[in-house]
């Protein structure tokens, strides 16, 4: 199985979806800075078809956020949208999760996290992604992709768990990864690899 080839094909398709949906241009019209984050940004997109954006504005105008998403939702390919208001938490964000039908039986999730500039997590995940890309060897990348591929579809594991297990704890196979996850549960927002240890 050529996991690197699969990841590359997923990346190419995801970029087509981003361009086709106009998601970046729509938010930019509303004065937002749009950053691609997550597994797609790191070239580690495997079976879970999701595209993650962090979207920054100086003010958190809920009505403008709704307006941007309403414009995005005009596409007949947008089949469902979920919303969460987390402005009163330390996340200081509005969460949008959309399901985009690229083609029949090929539905992608597009996460648009609208974040207040200068809040606690402004730029945080972008730095995490850059750190991981710089730390990760080609062999570790292959292992991460293989572990993602071998994870049963019904099991949802945050990407950071794979990266930490492989890069920091040298996990090489799925059986060991399962055990590692039991003893290293994710609680809250993971600070690795920006932590000092």
CA distance 95 to 97: 7
pLDDT tens by residue, 50-83: 999 999 999 999 999 999 999 999 999 999 999 9
- pTM value is 0.92
Contact (Cβ atoms closer than 8 angstroms) between residue 35 and residue 53: yes
Residues pairing with 103 in the sheet: 106
Q: 76, exposed or middle or buried, with CB in 10 Å at 0-12, 13-18, 19+?
A: exposed
Average pLDDT for 129-137: 93
pLDDT, position 192: 82
Contact (Cβ atoms closer than 8 angstroms) between residue 51 and residue 109: yes
Name the token pair of 197.
């240890």
Q: Is the pLDDT of residue 191 over 90?
A: no
CA distance 150 to 25: 35
Q: Is the pLDDT of residue 28 over 80?
A: yes
Q: Is the pLDDT of residue 194 over 80?
A: no
Q: How far is CA 6 from each of CA 10, 12, 44, 85, rounded to the nearest angstrom? A: 6, 10, 10, 35
Q: How far is CA 121 from each of CA 95, 116, 131, rounded to the nearest angstrom? A: 14, 9, 16
Q: Is the pLDDT of residue 47 over 60?
A: yes
pLDDT, position 195: 66
Contact (Cβ atoms closer than 8 angstroms) between residue 71 and residue 81: no
Contact (Cβ atoms closer than 8 angstroms) between residue 110 and residue 53: yes
Average pLDDT for 85-97: 93
Q: Is the pLDDT of residue 197 over 90?
A: no
Cα 189 → chain centroid: 13
Average pLDDT for 99-116: 95
Q: Band the pLDDT of 134: cuts 50, 70, 90.
A: very high
pLDDT, position 23: 98
In the chain, the percentage of residues whose pLDDT exceeds 90 is 87
Helix, strand or coil, per DSSP, at residue 2: coil
Mean pLDDT across the chain, nearest whole number?
94
For the chain, what are the domain ranges?
A: 3-121, 127-183
CATH class of residue range 3-121: alpha beta
């Amino acid at each position: 199985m050529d996991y690197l080839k699969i990841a590359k094909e997923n990346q190419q398709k995801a970029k087509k979806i981003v361009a086709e949906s106009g998601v970046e241009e729509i938010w930019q019209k509303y004065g937002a800075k749009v950053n691609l984050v997550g597994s797609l940004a790191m070239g580690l997109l495997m079976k879970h078809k999701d595209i993650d954006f962090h979207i920054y504005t100086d003010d958190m105008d809920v009505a403008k956020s709704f307006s941007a998403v309403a414009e995005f939702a005009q596409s007949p390919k947008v089949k469902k949208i979920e919303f969460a208001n987390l402005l009163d938490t330390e996340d200081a964000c509005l969460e949008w999760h959309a399901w985009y039908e690229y083609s029949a039986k090929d539905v992608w999730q597009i996460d648009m996290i609208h974040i207040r500039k200068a809040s606690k997590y402004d730029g945080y995940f972008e730095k995490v992604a850059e750190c991981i890309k710089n730390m990760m060897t080609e062999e570790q990348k292959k292992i991460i992709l293989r572990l993602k591929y071998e994870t049963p579809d019904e099991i949802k594991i945050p990407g950071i768990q794979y990266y930490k297990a492989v890069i920091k704890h040298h996990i090489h196979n799925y059986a060991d990864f399962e055990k590692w996850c039991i003893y290293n549960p994710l609680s809250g927002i993971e600070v690795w690899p920006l932590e000092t240890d």
